[in-house]
C-alpha cells in the first residue's frame, strides 16, 4: 500500500503536541502507540479527525484511554470504513461499553482485548453475535473453584492444583 506508517515512542507531553503531529499525517494507514502513556481520549479524538485512512492502530498498554475515546474513534470515517486491526491489550479503563462502539467498525477484521479486565465474557459474546466474522483475541482466566469446607487438606489449594 502507498500509505504512511508511524511507529514512534511519544514522550510524555500534551494533547496539543499530538494534535499538531497527526494534523500533518492524514495519509497514515498504520499507527503503533503501544505503551505510550501520554495517549488519552483527546488523542483518539485527534486521530479520528485527522487520520481518515487508518487501517491498523495499536493502543496496547495505553492506560489512559477509555470508552469515550473509543466512541469517537469507532464513530469516525476511518473507524467505520477503514480500520481493519485494533489492538487494545491491557487498556484498563475500557469496559463493555466499548463493545457497542466496536460494532460500528464495519471493516474491522481483528481486535485484541487481552487483559482488558473490565470487558466481560457477555460483552465478547455480544460482539461475536453482532460481528460473527470478526477475530477477537481475548483471554479470561479460569474461575477459581470454591474452597471445600469439609476437606481440610484441600482448603489450602484450589482444585486446579495438584497436591503432591
Q: Give per-residue pLDDT as tens, 72-126.
A: 999 999 999 999 999 999 999 999 999 999 999 999 999 999 999 999 999 999 9
Kind of pairing between the strands at 28-32 and 56-58: parallel
CA angle, corner 21, sides to 17 and 25, nearest 5? 165
- Please give the model's pTM, rounded to 2 decimal places: 0.80
Residues 99, 105: contact at Cβ < 8 Å? no
Residues 94, 115: contact at Cβ < 8 Å? no
| Longest distance between any two alpha carbons in the chain, whole Å | 67
Q: Give per-residue pLDDT as tens, 2-32.
A: 455 554 444 545 667 778 888 888 899 999 9
Q: What is the pLDDT at residue 12?
A: 46
- The whole-angstrom separation of Cα 46 and Cα 91 is 19
Amino acid at each position: 500500500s502507498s500509505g504512511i506508517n508511524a511507529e514512534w515512542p511519544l514522550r510524555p507531553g500534551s494533547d496539543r503536541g499530538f494534535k499538531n503531529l497527526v494534523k500533518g499525517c492524514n495519509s497514515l494507514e498504520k499507527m503503533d502507540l503501544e505503551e505510550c502513556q501520554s495517549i488519552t481520549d483527546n488523542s483518539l479524538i485527534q486521530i479520528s479527525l485527522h487520520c481518515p485512512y487508518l487501517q491498523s492502530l495499536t493502543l496496547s498498554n495505553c492506560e489512559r484511554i477509555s470508552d469515550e475515546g473509543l466512541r469517537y474513534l469507532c464513530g469516525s470515517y476511518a473507524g467505520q470504513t477503514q480500520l481493519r486491526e485494533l489492538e487494545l491489550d491491557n487498556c484498563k479503563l475500557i469496559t463493555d461499553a466499548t463493545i457497542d462502539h466496536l460494532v460500528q467498525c464495519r471493516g474491522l477484521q481483528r481486535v485484541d482485548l487481552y487483559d482488558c479486565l473490565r470487558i466481560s465474557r457477555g460483552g465478547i459474546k455480544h460482539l461475536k453475535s453482532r460481528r460473527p466474522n470478526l477475530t477477537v483475541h481475548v483471554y479470561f482466566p479460569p474461575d477459581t473453584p470454591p474452597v471445600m469446607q469439609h476437606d481440610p487438606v484441600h482448603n489450602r489449594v484450589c482444585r486446579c492444583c495438584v497436591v503432591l
